[in-house]
Amino acid sequence: MFHKKAPLCSLDQCTINQAYRCFQTAVGALPQGLCLYDEKNRLRLWNEKFSKLYELSGRLYAGMHLDEVIDLTVNAGKYGNRARADIVNDRHAFIEKRMQARFDQSLDTGTIVEIIHVPLEDGGWVATFEDVTILRSTEQQLVHLANHDQLTGLANRRKFTDVANRLIEEPSRSATTLVLIDLDGFKAVNDSMGHAAGDLLLKEVAQRLRLAAADACLIARLGGDEFALLFESSIADNGRFSRACDIVSVVVGKTKIGATEINIDASFGVATVGDVTNVDALVAEADTALYDHKRRKRAQR
């Protein structure tokens, strides 16, 4: 007895249908939104996470052109005030480059979407979309912490060094000026009133520096009671000392720490980027000028 074999096409179709259902399930379970376009930029596959991210649920269909998808997102205000034509032109120009890329898109809601674009061999392309708003915020906070003094909020020594190095390497900024400021008698405040009082004093000085040197490209606390200010604008030799005096005149004076009134005094030194070739030399030159200023003040007492 011969058994009739099932048609191979039926078995193949069953296998294909089962594989497709598994594929759809896998795509739907992805933590990112996903879109698949063919070589004519027509939408062939997407998941619900993409639809929800761009508020397009129930509005997409297979064969929909990329330009139509962009129209929906533009009409929903996802691109803010950007012109529709600019968005379309930019997207097509990018797709035609046939290159893999990772970039962020900021939506009008404040959501930041990381898009990973991958061209396919058949001329189409696939892209994933992930909400990275919290991640980017965390990254920004970490960068800020790495570059700023936690007590005063000013730039720290690391940030100061990075900026100063950049200025030294740019010949056009050879006249950039560093003003180094050191508080007089700060240790006595710490010793007599405690470190909490010293911290309040440093915060007050930082605030006064922000007001006095709003035109500085960088205000930093280098450590302890030492502050640094960098000016990108050229300050002539005969004007550098005068500018530093103006800043210090705003910093010094009376202030209250709790119920106690204390007097802030400070010394300063000035150096110019054009006179040195590295950050250490720049700081050393300003430091020498600062201690000369301290000695002159002591001699006048």
Residue 175: C-alpha distances to residues 64, 97, 229 (Å): 59, 43, 14
CB 77 within 8 A of CB 108: yes
Non-local CB neighbours of 138 within 8 Å, separated by 6+ positions = none
Active site residue 225: yes
The continuous run of DSSP H or E covering 228 comes out as strand 226-231
Distance between CA atoms of residues 213 and 246, nearest Å? 9
Q: Which of 90, 225, 237, 275 is catalytic?
A: 225
Distance between CA atoms of residues 172 and 176, nearest Å? 9
Give the count of alpha carbons within 13 A of 26, CB side only: 6
Residues serving a catalytic function are: 225
